[in-house]
Structure 1
Amino acid sequence: MAETDRATARTLDPAAVADAARGWIGTPYRHQASALGLGADCLGVVRGVWRELIGPEPEPPPPYARSWAEDGAGELMLDAARRWLVPVPAGAIEAGDVLLFRVARDRVAKHCGIATGPRTMVHAYDGHAVAETAIPDIWLTRLVARFRFPAGV
Structure 2
Amino acid sequence: MEKLQYGLTIFSLYLLSLNQVSFSATDVHDLLPLYNLPKGLLPQNIKSYTLSTADNSFTIELSSHPCYVNFNGQSVYYDRIIKGKLGFGKVSEVSGIQAKKFFVWVSVTGIDVDETNGMIEFFVGTLSQKLPAQEFETIHNCKAKGLRDSFSYLEASI
- Give the TM-score band, short-chain normalised: under 0.3
TM-score of the superposed pair, with normalisation by structure 2: 0.26
Q: How high is the TM-score relative to the length of structure 1? A: 0.26
Q: Which has the higher contact order (CA 8 A, sep 6+)?
A: 1
Greater share of residues in strand: 2
